[in-house]
Chains A and B, each alone.
Chain A
Amino acid sequence: MEPEVHEDESALEDAEAVRLSISGDTSAFDRLIEKYQRRAVSVAYRLLGNLDDAQEVSQEAFVRAFRSLQSLQEPKRFSAWLIRIVSNLSLNFRRARRPHLSLSLEDDGGGTISDRLADGGRRERSGLEIAESEELREILEAAVDTLPEPQRLALVLFAMEQMPQKEVAAIMECSVEMVKWNVFQARKNLKARLADYLEET
């Protein structure tokens, strides 16, 4: 139960910081920036795959949040609201870049990444070396980026960022069951695509 107490305290601190920010105390919003900056950049980076873009989007998200603070109906849920803004901006930013992604999928010397995804990534590999290899990184990048957006977002927030499902549901504005379903579908999808890499050696 202790974690919930901490969460409540944290949420109350956020609500107070929101209240102060609305009243003109920008240092209160600075505290929110400090508190959530790393999480915001992390989520954006996992969705975008580019650190510069992730930082840009995160900054925009904070600016947007600041300007919209008065519309936040539950100040205690500032963090979920902020991460929702970060997620939306990241996904939309990424959509705008999609043509570039398409090119990178085709530009691949020994068979396209798409081909490798289709055949389960069959390549010689050896244990952890593969987990850290450029090849797996590329395949994983492509596999994650081609997941449907709800699956990708649920996977990033839950499986990568390790956020509680309830919080992920609040961010995605859906039920916990829907979060579970999306995470499962994403995992099943990736497991099939990366089958050979996931086998023991």
Chain B
Amino acid sequence: MTAPSDDLEFLLSRAADPDVSAEERARIAEAARRDAQAAKSVRGYERLGAILRAFRAIPKDLDVGNLAAGTSRRVAEAQGAPDAAPGDMKLDALLARSVRPLPPMDWHAFRSRVSDAVHAEEGPQIVRRGGHVRRWLLRAAVPLAAAAAVMLMVRTPRTSLVQVDVGYPAIERPVISVRFEQPGTRGVVSISFDRTASPAGIDEEQADAGVAIATGTRRIDAPEPLDVALLF
């Protein structure tokens, strides 16, 4: 018995799919009839399919009606909210539950480390724009030597609403988030600053920073507005 080829394995993996054609079904049956290993593979995929369908299935008694009422209420609130912008999200609610605040940061040391890492790969391309919001788009490789994921988050004490250039007006606390996940992956670091924030706790050179987000997980091939919501 030999392992099925990739083409055959692909076919066998579809044995229990609802959209498998009659012709494919016949080929699967023929392969299983002629080769015990193929037959075993089919049974394995069928069993896997059954397990996957049951995997994390929502409880049947989940009160979806109550949930829908809550959702409707939030939608109604969103409709009535002043200056609501497309794509606005209650980021703070999500962030508060998913990320722990970072202890005080040595921003000089941090910037130095990022800078060194960037320069070690290739020279950064810097794009600056005028107006209230400046954007640095650093196209560079983002190496990560030590950790599989590093996520740093700083929330400053200021609670005034901040209008960032990406159209999300209601980030109650300015946020700085840096995340590198894929060692050796080429990526982009994109940072947005807003002069209206001036949060405490950030070194003087970044005194006009309101929101700074950098990610190594999404490649941005051209300067474009950051979709803040999609970074989390």
Interchain Cβ contacts within 8 Å, total number: 155
Is A124's CB within 8 Å of the partner chain B? no
Instruction: Give the A interface residue count (CB, 8 A).
Output: 62
Q: How far is the CA of A53 from the CA of B78 in the complex (A)?
A: 20
Q: Which stretch, B26-34, B90-98, B110-118, B138-146, touches the partner chain A?
A: B90-98
Majority SS at the chain A contact face: helix
Q: How far is the CB of B121 from chain A (nearest CB, A)?
A: 23
A188 touches B13 (CB 8 A): yes
The CA of A62 and the CA of B67, in the complex, are separated in Å by 12
Scan residues 1-23 of chain B and give those whose CB is less than 8 A from a CB of chain A. Answer: 9-10, 13, 18-19
Q: Are the CB atoms of B86 and A70 closer together than 8 Å?
A: yes
The proximity string for B residues 123-165 relative to A, scoring 1 for CB distances below 8 Å and 0 otherwise, is 0000000000000000000000000110100000000000000
- In Å, the complex CA distance between A98 and B182 comes to 13
B43 (CB) vs chain A CBs: closest residue: A200
A interface list, Cβ under 8 A from B: 26, 29-30, 33-34, 37-38, 41-42, 45-46, 49, 51, 53-60, 62-64, 66-68, 70-71, 88-89, 92-93, 95-99, 102, 131, 136, 140, 144, 155, 159-160, 162, 164-165, 180, 183-184, 187-188, 190-191, 194-195, 197-200
Interface residues of chain B, those whose CB is within 8 Å of chain A, are: 9-10, 13, 18-19, 40-41, 43-45, 47-59, 62, 64, 67-68, 70-72, 74-76, 78-79, 84-90, 93-95, 97-99, 148-149, 151, 179, 181, 217, 229-232
